[in-house]
């Protein structure tokens, strides 16, 4: 069982998730403090993305429990019983997190600025003038203010991913989830996205990052988890896990990535 405290923004306790006969997550326990940059590495199919999707309630867990910002997600406890939350209650809980996917998922019929302000405007019902100003500030932050009136199809993959990050930040999340945000990019575009993520980390944003960018993880992470076959195999400081791993499975994976 994980040792949690009020300093942790995410607590996963004995979480399991099945897809048919496949156990995607097998008794996973993890506590992530506020302000941490938690990097998760591991081979394809190891459960990394599934864990993120469970934290963001895009997948429903089959066992265990997850708390985000001190609140049990997906359920309400009444006495000794758990009752599933309504879709509206889950949507409210999900506002705590922003998620950036491998694919950018931008609205192609909207301009860059419209993409960024759509959530605050329609979901949070905030004043348009206020959110337009904030949207422009976010575009400045990701280095794309001049693209405010462009459409996604007019942008490179790296630019689209930076817009996706700005769109997630527009909802003012306490936690940012990144699911291999550079894996769909051409190699020359990876650096511009990682630069934005470095800036976020330096600003104190709590982040969980699924990535194969081991140099980024070593530089930015406060903690690294290696997962394989739905389980956490090894966890520790970046230099410990990435430079001197204790487990053969971790060593083999890192050697393969660095080839």
Q: Give per-residue pLDDT as tens, 12-53.
A: 999 999 999 999 999 999 999 999 999 999 999 999 999 999
Kindly state the average pLDDT of the residues 213-228: 95
**What was the pLDDT predicted at 228?**
97
Contact 158, 192 (CB under 8 A): yes
Range with lowest mean pLDDT among 2-6, 162-166, 249-253: 2-6
In CATH, the number for domain 8-258 is 3.40.50.300
Phi, psi of 198 (to 5 degrees): -60, -40
73 closest CA partner among 201, 175, 171: 175
How many CB atoms are located within 10 Å of the residue 18 CB?
14
pLDDT at 4: 53
175 closest CA partner among 154, 205, 140: 205
- pLDDT score for 242: 95
* Mean pLDDT on 70-95: 89
Structure confidence by residue, pLDDT tens digits, 181-212: 999 889 889 999 999 999 999 999 999 999 99
Q: What is the mean pLDDT of the chain?
A: 93
pLDDT exceeds 80 at position 75: yes
What's the Cα-to-Cα distance from 240 to each of 3, 174, 190, 212, 237, rounded to whole Å?
A: 21, 28, 25, 17, 5
Domains of the chain by residue range:
8-258
Confidence of residue 3 (pLDDT cuts 50, 70, 90): low
- Average pLDDT (240-251) is 95
State percent of the chain over pLDDT 70.
98
Q: Report pTM.
A: 0.93
Residue range 106-116: mean pLDDT, rounded: 95
């Amino acid at each position: 069982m994980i040792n949690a405290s009020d300093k942790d923004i995410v607590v996963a306790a004995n979480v399991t998730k099945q897809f048919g006969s496949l156990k995607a997550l097998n008794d996973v326990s993890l506590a992530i403090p506020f302000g941490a940059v938690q990097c998760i590495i591991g081979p394809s199919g190891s459960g990394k993305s599934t864990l993120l999707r469970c934290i963001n309630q895009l997948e429903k867990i089959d066992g265990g429990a997850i708390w985000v910002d001190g609140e049990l997600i997906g359920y309400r406890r009444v006495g000794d019983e758990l009752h599933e939350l309504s879709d509206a209650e889950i949507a409210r809980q999900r506002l705590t997190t922003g998620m950036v996917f491998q694919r950018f998922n931008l609205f192609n019929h909207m301009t860059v600025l419209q993409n960024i302000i759509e959530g605050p405007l329609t979901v949070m019902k905030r004043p348009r003038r206020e959110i337009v100003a904030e949207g422009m500030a976010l575009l400045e932050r990701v280095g794309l203010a001049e693209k405010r009136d462009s459409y996604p199809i007019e942008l490179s993959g790296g630019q689209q991913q930076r817009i996706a990050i700005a769109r997630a930040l527009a909802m003012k999340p306490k936690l940012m989830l990144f699911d291999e945000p550079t894996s769909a990019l051409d190699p020359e575009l990876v650096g511009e996205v990682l630069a934005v993520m470095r800036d976020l980390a330096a600003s104190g944003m709590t982040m969980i990052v699924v990535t194969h960018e081991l140099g980024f993880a070593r530089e930015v992470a406060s903690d690294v988890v290696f997962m394989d076959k739905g389980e956490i195999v090894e966890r520790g400081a970046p230099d410990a896990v990435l430079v001197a791993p204790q487990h053969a499975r971790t060593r083999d994976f890192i050697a393969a990535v660095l080839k």
